[in-house]
Amino acid sequence: MFRLFVLVLVVGGYALATSASHGADPRTGRRPLALDFRMKTLAGKEVDLATYQGKVLLVVNVASKCGLTPQYQQLQALHEKYAKDGLAILGFPCNQFGKQEPGTAKEIQEFCRVNYGVTFDLFAKVEVNGPGACGLYKYLTSVETKPQGPGKIRWNFEKFIIGRRGEVVARFDPKTHPDDPEVIQVIEAELAKK
């Protein structure tokens, strides 16, 4: 007989449903909270983030008209170098900082492809701060991490690293480049875990 258990947790004032059947951690029987969200891609397809379980994720809020936009190039280089080892980069366009991501989904996709050759996963535009923040970012900004702790997103290109088991293991400020040695060290350490 197949049984499905659902546990509802309240984290930071919002509810998350955790299923013990899909994407569950074999040690605890629970699905990692960081992967307990469904998000839409730029193409409008809904994706269950639990499908990324077992990979190392680099989650970044991105923008096309920012002084930090050239980080797309470094993100793509990391994708090309480490995707075969289990790294997945998830870009979440956001227009909350200086209105630096005003484009439509099609415009964002085209900009990233033409200017930076982006082939890593890009999602629909989201809010990352305030009452309209999506559930994923409400969760990410509530977690105690290093080198930065919990708190609101400061600007475009803030980075979170999620380990293979779905735990948030690091958070880096926007000006820390994706290929910074400290970021690479965390990514490689997480990729080494099986």
Q: Is 169 helix (H, G, I), strand (E, B) or coil?
A: strand
Phi, psi of 121 (to 5 degrees): -75, 125
Is 66 part of the annotated catalytic residue set? yes
| The three-state (H, E, C) secondary structure of 114-142, written as one string | HHHCCCCEEECCCCCCCCCCCHHHHHHCC
Sign of CA dihedral 144, 14, 24, 61: negative
Closest C-alpha to 41, from 31, 52, 33:
52
DSSP per-residue string spanning 4-46: --EEEEEETTEEEEEESSSS--TTTS---GGG--EEEBTTS-E
Using CA atoms, how far residue 51 sits from 61, 94, 121, 185, in Å, is: 20, 23, 13, 25
Catalytic residue among 66, 94, 112, 134: 66
Q: Just list the catalytic residues.
A: 66
